């Protein structure tokens, strides 16, 4: 039986560990924290991410926990439309999912061929031609035919195998929250919330998770919002951060103020936005009978402006699982690198163009940004959406 060690039980690690186990591999999943738990927010899955989940055999459960996200358009803080809402065909409609629901679905998919070891922090990796690849936490060595590094943005494995790729700040911070339905404000028309507002260096996006009074398959419904602001994360306690957000976004169109007012400091999740520059020179490192591969944020951490990080992690997992079913192990490692690097590079390039538009500051830059949003951004967004929609798992 073939064996794999997967490092990191985030969405990427859970997805690939389950997929390998369902194909008959014996998998050890190593996670540094004591409990496998995501932050209590939500994630938007674009059609490529949904398709990848289906390819991983996890699509069936998704319908019960996902809420379609209609195109709500893009407004300026004064309410002026930068991009009008447009009807989205059902097959191109993204969905919103509570991260805890997504984790539950991925954990349910692990089956009994995955040995989950929590409290294990991987510190070293070995990927030598004549030896089975392995990782170690300093006390125990874990060797296997294949090692999957799904250990996130600060990946220790990437730092050792691709030291040229550095984690840098993207120059902004993000705040997210899910306001449960019982505390969510009643908004005009009480329609599902969607859409975004863009100011000078500030952005606010909101989305409904399920419907008020009907939780569907999830008990975690509510209204999800994410606010991005240029600058560093704030050192103050959540109460002060929330007060700052209310000041920064004062006067923005409905529902921004209502959502910030209804948010409890305990709901707030703050995060510095970081990215890899440059991307690693390789995603596959042949060793022994197989090798080491980089997956998810460990391979391509990027700002969330296009909401593609989780989607790409699922694409990585679906691609790897498919290649391993159909090719010899060493060939699969090489093919994974060949398929995934250009794909990640394209999405990162599109994300950086969005970063430049979103983070424009100053009066002239702002005018250029508004003009760009009126013309480039719809094109950029539809290019991103089209390349996302075009992605298919290899078969």
Ligand X SMILES: Cc1cc2nc3c(=O)[nH]c(=O)nc-3n(C[C@H](O)[C@H](O)[C@H](O)COP(=O)(O)OP(=O)(O)OC[C@H]3O[C@@H](n4cnc5c(N)ncnc54)[C@H](O)[C@@H]3O)c2cc1C
Query: Using alpha carbons only, how large is the chain's radius of gyration in Å?
Result: 21
Nearer to ligand X, 190 or 272 (CB): 272
Selected from 16, 27, 44, 161, the binder of ligand X by CB under 6 A is: 44
Q: Does 347 bind ligand X (CB under 6 A)?
A: no
Tokens found for residue 188: 């005009």
Q: Name residues contacting ligand X, limited to 287-326 (CB under 6 A).
A: 296-298, 304, 307-311, 313
Tokens found for residue 299: 């391979």
Residue pair 12/313 in contact (Cβ under 8 Å)? The answer is: yes
Q: Which residue has the tokens 């022994």?
A: 288
Selected from 4, 5, 11, 127, the binder of ligand X by CB under 6 A is: 11
Q: Does 267 bind ligand X (CB under 6 A)?
A: no
Q: Does 33 bind ligand X (CB under 6 A)?
A: yes
**Exposed, middle or buried by CB within 10 Å (0-12, 13-18, 19+), for 143?**
middle
Q: Does 149 bind ligand X (CB under 6 A)?
A: no
| Cis ω for the linkage preceding 380 (within 30 of 0) | no
Residue pair 45/66 in contact (Cβ under 8 Å)? The answer is: yes
Selected from 88, 215, 271, 383, the binder of ligand X by CB under 6 A is: 271
Q: Angle CA(288)–CA(292)–CA(296) in degrees, nearest 5?
A: 165
Q: Does 121 bind ligand X (CB under 6 A)?
A: yes
Q: Does 29 bind ligand X (CB under 6 A)?
A: no
How far is 233 from 176, CA to CA, in rounded Å?
13
Q: Does 152 bind ligand X (CB under 6 A)?
A: yes
Kindly report the length of the chain. Answer: 395
Which region, judged by CB under 6 A, interacts with ligand X, from 146-154, 235-243, 319-327, 328-336?
A: 146-154
Q: Does 223 bind ligand X (CB under 6 A)?
A: no
Q: Which residues are near ligand X by CB under 6 A?
A: 7-13, 30-33, 43-44, 49, 121-122, 150-152, 156, 174, 176, 226, 271, 273, 296-298, 304, 307-311, 313
């Amino acid at each position: 039986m073939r064996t794999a060690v997967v490092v990191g039980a985030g969405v990427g690690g859970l997805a690939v560990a389950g997929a390998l186990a369902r194909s008959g591999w014996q998998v050890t999943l190593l996670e540094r924290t004591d409990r496998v738990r995501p932050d209590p927010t939500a994630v938007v899955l674009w059609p490529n991410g949904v398709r990848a989940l289906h390819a991983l055999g996890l699509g069936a459960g998704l319908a019960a926990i996902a809420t379609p996200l209609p195109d709500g358009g893009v407004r300026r803080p004064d309410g002026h439309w930068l991009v009008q809402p447009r009807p989205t065909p059902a097959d191109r409609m993204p969905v919103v999912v509570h991260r805890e629901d997504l984790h539950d679905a991925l954990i349910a998919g692990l089956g009994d061929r995955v040995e989950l070891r929590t409290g294990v922090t991987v510190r070293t990796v070995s990927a030598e031609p004549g030896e089975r690849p392995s990782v170690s936490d300093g006390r125990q060595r874990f060797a296997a035919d294949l090692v999957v590094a799904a250990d996130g943005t600060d990946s220790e494995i990437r730092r050792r195998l691709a030291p040229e790729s550095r984690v840098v700040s993207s120059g902004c911070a993000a705040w997210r929250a899910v306001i449960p339905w019982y505390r969510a404000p009643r908004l005009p028309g009480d329609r599902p919330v969607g859409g975004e507002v863009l100011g000078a260096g500030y952005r606010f996006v909101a989305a409904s998770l399920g419907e008020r009074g009907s939780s569907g398959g999830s008990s975690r419904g509510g209204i999800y919002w994410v606010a991005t602001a240029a600058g560093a994360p704030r050192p103050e306690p959540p109460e002060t951060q929330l007060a700052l957000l209310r000041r920064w976004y004062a006067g923005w169109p409905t529902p921004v103020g209502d959502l910030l007012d209804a948010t409890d400091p305990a709901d707030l999740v703050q995060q510095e936005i970081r990215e890899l520059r440059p991307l690693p020179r390789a995603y596959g490192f042949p060793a022994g009978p197989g090798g080491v591969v980089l997956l998810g944020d460990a391979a391509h951490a990027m700002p969330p402006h296009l909401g593609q990080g989780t989607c790409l992690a699922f694409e990585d997992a679906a691609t790897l699982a498919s290649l391993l079913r159909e090719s010899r192990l060493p060939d699969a490692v090489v093919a994974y690198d060949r398929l995934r690097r250009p794909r990640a590079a394209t999405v990162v390039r599109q994300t950086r163009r969005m970063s430049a538009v979103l983070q424009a500051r100053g009066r002239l830059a702002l005018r250029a940004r508004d003009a760009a949003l009126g013309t480039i951004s719809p094109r950029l967004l539809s290019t991103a959406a089209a390349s996302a929609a075009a992605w298919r798992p290899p078969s």
